[in-house]
Amino acid sequence: MAALPGPSPDLASAARSLGILSRLLAPMSAYDYRPKPEIETLLAGLRQRILPIFTLEGAARETLKDRIAAAGALGQGGDPRLDTDTFIPLPGCPGVALGKYPVTVQEFAGFIEAGGYDDFELWSPEGWQALQQAKWAAPASWESQTGHPNRPVTGISWYEAEAWCRWASRQGGHTVRLPTAEEWRQAAMPDEQLYPWGYAEPDAERANFNRNVGGPTPVGVYPAGNGPLGHCDLAGNVWEWGEELAGQPVGPGAGRVLHGGSWISAQNVRAASRRRAHPANRYNSLGFRCSRVQS
């Protein structure tokens, strides 16, 4: 079986094998298929080797470079973390849960494949007008993103993020939308700390910022930078669209709030950092995560 790793595979090769095997076996469970014991043993061993890199203890045993490479390989094979419910309830916001990760390339691809860019009902009037004028059919630089399924999707306007949330609401029994400022605060700084992880200054082990990697990284490879509830990448990696700034009137072209800084940002990774941007902006540092509200 080509997906099986050779003897003593490196971390990235083992991660790729885990992703491929997980993806191959997942649909077979519908037919009550059970892998042979030797395959189950192999999978358990791969999980024990790879998945701990997303924990504090496991990350400490590997270099950041190796973790990024392994996480990227896992994504190319099929990241099993993204096949589970990754929303985390917000104690200060009853009935609301915030995504553990920013929305990934893999997750956004489903919207494209379902014809989301052609479905008028998913778009606000202003968003549909922007789409028609610019002839959007995918995020900016989409072809270069598809090789990195578990990175945050980038090149996303506020309008596209809003439309994806409406599409995601159709897929389950909950309303999905962009987070409010209060929801973001509850995840990133419930005790008013400077950063999601506390008060220590940001460094290369806590966040992808200040061009220290050179681009977006797979979600969750900085466990030392997780928020107090377990949310990943709240600081750095990508700026994340939220609702309009406090006091900003809602209307066509109204500026929208961005949270958390990005892989480019040097000074904007504090939990309270915000920027305002035009909702049609589609930079390679812009992404989003979403909130899920109980119906």
Structural domain for 157, as ranges: 87-293
115 by DSSP, 3-state: which?
coil
pLDDT at 82: 93
Domain holding 283: CATH number? 3.90.1580.10
pLDDT at 246: 43
Contacts of 62 (CB under 8 A, 6+ apart): 11, 53, 70
Q: Are 18 and 47 in contact (CB under 8 A)?
A: yes
Band (173; pLDDT cuts 50, 70, 90):
confident
Buried residues in 21-43 as b, exposed as e (16+ CB within 10 A): bbeebeeeeeeeeeeeeeeeebb
Mean pLDDT of 130-138: 97
Q: Are 151 and 75 in contact (CB under 8 A)?
A: yes
Tell whether 1 is covered by a domain.
no
Number of domains, the chain: 2
DSSP 186-209: HHH-TT--SBTTBSSPP-TTT---
- One domain for residues 195 and 247: yes
pTM of the model: 0.90
Band (35; pLDDT cuts 50, 70, 90):
low
- One domain for residues 78 and 125: no
Q: Are 279 and 254 in contact (CB under 8 A)?
A: yes
The residue out of 62, 83, 104 marking a domain boundary is 83
The residue out of 50, 83, 116 marking a domain boundary is 83
Q: Is the pLDDT of residue 39 over 50?
A: yes
| Helix, strand, coil content of the chain in percent (nearest 5) | 40, 10, 50
Mean pLDDT of 20-36: 63
Mean pLDDT of 112-131: 97
- One domain for residues 77 and 177: no
- One domain for residues 50 and 191: no
* Tens-digit pLDDT profile for residues 228-264: 999 999 999 999 999 866 445 555 556 899 999 999 9
Band (186; pLDDT cuts 50, 70, 90):
very high
Percent of the chain exceeding pLDDT 70 equals 87
Q: Is the pLDDT of residue 77 over 70?
A: yes
pLDDT at 203: 95
* Tens-digit pLDDT profile for residues 194-232: 999 999 999 999 999 999 999 999 999 999 999 999 999
Stronger pLDDT, 42 or 174, i.e. the higher one: 174
Integer Rg of the chain from CA: 19
Kindly tell me the burial class for residue 157, based on how many C-beta atoms sit within 10 Å of its own C-beta (0-12, 13-18, 19 or more).
buried
- One domain for residues 39 and 125: no
pLDDT at 106: 96
Give the C-alpha separation, 218 to 83, whole Å: 15
- One domain for residues 276 and 153: yes
pLDDT winner (highest mean) among 12-26, 62-76, 120-134 = 120-134
- One domain for residues 262 and 124: yes
- One domain for residues 45 and 146: no
Select from 161, 152, 107, 103 the least CA-distant residue to 130. Answer: 161
